Structure 1
Amino acid sequence: MRTIKLGTSSLEVPVVAVGCMRINSLDKKAAEHFVQTALENGANFFDHADLYGAGECEEIFAEAVHMNESVREKLILQSKCGIRPDKGMFDFSKEHILDSVDNILKRLKTDYLDVFLLHRPDTLMEPEEVAEAFDILESSGKVRHFGVSNQNPMQMELLKKYMKQPIVANQLQLSITNTTMIDSGFNVNMENEAAVNRDGSVLDYCRLKDITIQPWSPFQYGFFEGVFLGNDKFPELNQKIDEIAANYGVSNTTIAIAWLLRHPANMQPVIGTMNEARLADCIKAGDIRLTREEWYSIYRAAGNILP
């Protein structure tokens, strides 16, 4: 699979990341087969979070991949912490970060994470504490690269004031039907809804600072209302995607991911499917470069109006 550099790091990662949020929906045999199929197709970047299955997903993954030293060398593992549903809060305290990483490593049966992200912003965050935690994790060898999830530019700037490490990735919601970070850039100084800058120009900021955007839920519309592919709510969009897919001889799934990969921001979509055929379709997107005309035709078919 085609690879890109993750942020400013030297870490080469596949353009598609395998999200493991739903791996607990598979039985043991199916989980083993799914992970092996991903690896055989070059999809060796696996995204986790302590939130997923309350940690169960990380345990299932470690068992499915038959984690040992030789296996670990073939994997790129990313995980996240900070969301605490048990307490009804977010938590970026030094104590929680350090404790969470130790538990993540234990569940994944590994000594280190390639990438560790802060999962959603904590408004009570004390950046000095976060920086201390990151320094401990880096010096101990438990984490090699650091990033964030769902943060705007000023939140990242606040962290960077104290962090020694670069922010290599920012996981953000983005799909063909969730394009607010793109819309506001088209509608600068316009008196319409699309002109509302909801994220502090996070798309341009990440490009400027060489932070890799990792789009999550790339097939969802709304927050988690469902997928747009094959959905009667989006007839024009599906017609356009199907038309382009037919021209390339691929599936609509492939084109939906190719649309994200066409953006020069060098994004790395996180794919949440546990279906091996769909994962294979997503991987194929790395070999397709949509034309400018095709990209814009899909954008407009999703109901977006260019000013």
Structure 2
Amino acid sequence: MKRINIVNGPQNASQIILGCMRMPALNTDDAASLIHTAYELGINFFDHATCYGRDGEAETRFGDAFPKTGIRREDVYIQSKCGILSEKGEFNWSKETIIESVNDSLRRLKLDYLDTLLLHRPDLLYEPEQIAEAFDELEKSGKVRFFGVSNVPTMMLEVLRKYIRQPLVINQLQFSLDQSQLIDQTLYVNNLTSERSIDRDNGTLDYCRLHDITVQAWSPLQKGLFQGCFVDDPELPELNRVLGELGERYGVSKTAIAIAWILRHPAKIQTIVGTMNTNHLSDICEATKVDLTHNEWYRLYLASGKYLP
């Protein structure tokens, strides 16, 4: 498993993260087996959110299962996100909500502290002074070690960094061969003939690289937002042809090649995978054994429907 050192954050962190959103589908024993398998495959980073499952059920399942694995708490990184209040139909980054959410997560996860806490999707009414107070309180109490965000663009990051004393070390963003908006606009800049020239995020990836914020790519195999997996999708024959060709060359699956494409980017992106199937997880982790060449990376990018201007 490839490891990275997150600047000002977790060290020796696996480049593949197990996302636990779908963990409520497993019973406690199966969840323990999945966590243990992930750890044996080299994954030492687990991602949660307060909104995963009804009443935080994903965190509860993990909290019940983790003690059964025999893994030491200090040997893994456990991350959660807060701010999405689905039952109220709002995003909320108030001080009260952040602190209450962390306390609820720790209770469900049966933990004394979170390694990282991320603010989950932008609250349009956010008050950075309140966030700064919440982060200070959580850090001082030892309940959170590191802080970050999820799906946050550049200018909001600028505002947050003005008020928050702690470094923002992570930004979760959607990125994949199918959803490559993070890099598209750079290639098509000033090109009136393509909608890909539209700047959708004000250079968020480069901003994160400039300020030592590690990007965590979510939905790395999804078509669209949540339209299924693009691997073996008959509507994407060229992409799957190239995925298959490179998979044969490296002795891995198409899925592993799709993940390897993300890991090849020099930004040292972590990739969140959400499978609850241990065989599929093992297959995905083969991606870390693949080092795509410069040309192979571009072949996959072009096969996904882009073109060089």
Which of 285, 288, 293 aligns to 2:287? It is: 285
TM-score by length of 2: 0.97
Correspondence for 1:235 among 234, 237, 259: 237
Q: 2:85 corresponds to which residue?
A: 84
How many angstroms apart in 2 are the aligned matches of 1:285 and 1:151? 27
Q: Which residue pairs with 1:247 in the alignment?
A: 249
Q: How many residues align?
A: 307
- The equivalent of 1:208 in structure 2 is 210
Please give the secondary structure, in 1, of the residue aligned with 2:201: coil
Superposed counterparts of 1:100-179, under 5 Å: 100-179=101-180
| Contact preservation (8 Å) 1:212, 1:268 | yes
The question of whether the paired residues in 1 share the 8 Å contact of 2:153 and 2:201 is answered with yes
Paired letter, 2:186: G
Question: How far 1:2 sits from its partner (Å)?
Answer: 1.6
Q: Deviations over 1:124-183 (max 9, x none)?
A: 000000000000000110000000000001111110000111111000011100011111
Counterpart Cα distance in 1 of 2:2 and 2:263: 11
1:281 aligned partner, one-letter code: D
Instruction: Say which SS state the counterpart of residue 99 (structure 1) adopts.
Output: helix
Counterpart CA distance in 2 for 1:42 and 1:77 is 15
Structure 2 residues without counterparts, runs of 5 or longer: none
- Counterpart CA distance in 2 for 1:10 and 1:26 is 28
Match of residue 260 from structure 1: 262
One-letter identity of the residue aligned with 2:32: E
| Contact 1:7/1:169 (<8 A) preserved | no
**Percent identity over paired residues:** 50
Equivalent residue number for residue 13 of structure 2? 13
Q: Cα deviations across residues 178-197 of structure 1 (Å, max 9, x unaligned)?
A: 01111101011111201001
State the 1:8 CA deviation: 3.3
User: What is the CA distance between 1:30 and its match in structure 2?
Assistant: 1.7
The verdict on how the C-alpha distance between 1:70 and 1:219 changes in structure 2, with shifts beyond 3 A counting, is closer
CA contact (8 A) 2:44 2:77 kept: yes
Deviates more, 1:98-107 or 1:23-32: 23-32
Counterparts of 1:225 and 1:279, CA distance in 2: 20
Task: State the 1:249 CA deviation.
Answer: 0.4
CA distances 1:79-130 after superposition (whole Å, capped 9, x unpaired): 0000001110000000000000000000000110000000000010000000
Moved over 2 A (4+): 7-12, 67-71
2:141 alignment partner AA: S
The TM-score, its normalising length taken from structure 1, stands at 0.97
**Hey, what's the Cα distance between the residues in 1 that align with 2:308 and 2:223?**
20
CA distance in 2, matches of 1:282, 1:68: 21
**Partner residue, 1:30:** 30
- What amino acid maps onto 1:49 in structure 2? A
Work out whether residues 10 and 77 of structure 2, in 8 Å CA contact, stay in contact via their aligned partners in 1. Answer: no
Distance 1:68 1:27 in 2: 14
Letter in 2 for 1:226: G
Deviation at 1:69, TM superposition (A): 10
Q: Is the partner of 2:148 in helix, strand or coil? A: strand
- Paired residues of 2:36 and 2:71 also in contact (CA < 8 A): no
| Deviations 1:27-68, CA, capped at 9 Å, x for gaps | 232212111111111212100000000311111011111179
Instruction: Work out whether residues 253 and 278 of structure 1, in 8 Å CA contact, stay in contact via their aligned partners in 2.
Output: no
Gaps (5+ residues) in structure 1? none
Aligned partners of 2:217 and 2:270 also within 8 Å: yes
The 8 Å contact of residues 241 and 256 in structure 1, kept in 2 or not, is answered as: yes
| Cα offsets for 1:244-296 (capped at 9, x unmatched) | 00000011111011000000000000001111122112222122110011000
Distance 2:10 2:84 in 1: 29
Match in the other structure for 1:189:
190
| Change in CA separation of 1:174 and 1:70 when aligned onto 2, cut-off 3 Å | closer
SS in 2 for 1:178: coil
Partner of 2:273: 271
Q: Does the CA contact (< 8 Å) of 1:97 and 1:133 recur in 2?
A: yes
Partners of 2:68 and 2:85 in 1: how far apart?
27
Q: Is the 8 A contact 1:7 1:211 kept in 2?
A: yes
Structure 2 residue 2 is matched with structure 1 residue 2: yes
Distance 2:259 2:64 in 1: 29
Q: Which residue identity does 2:36 align to in structure 1? A: Q
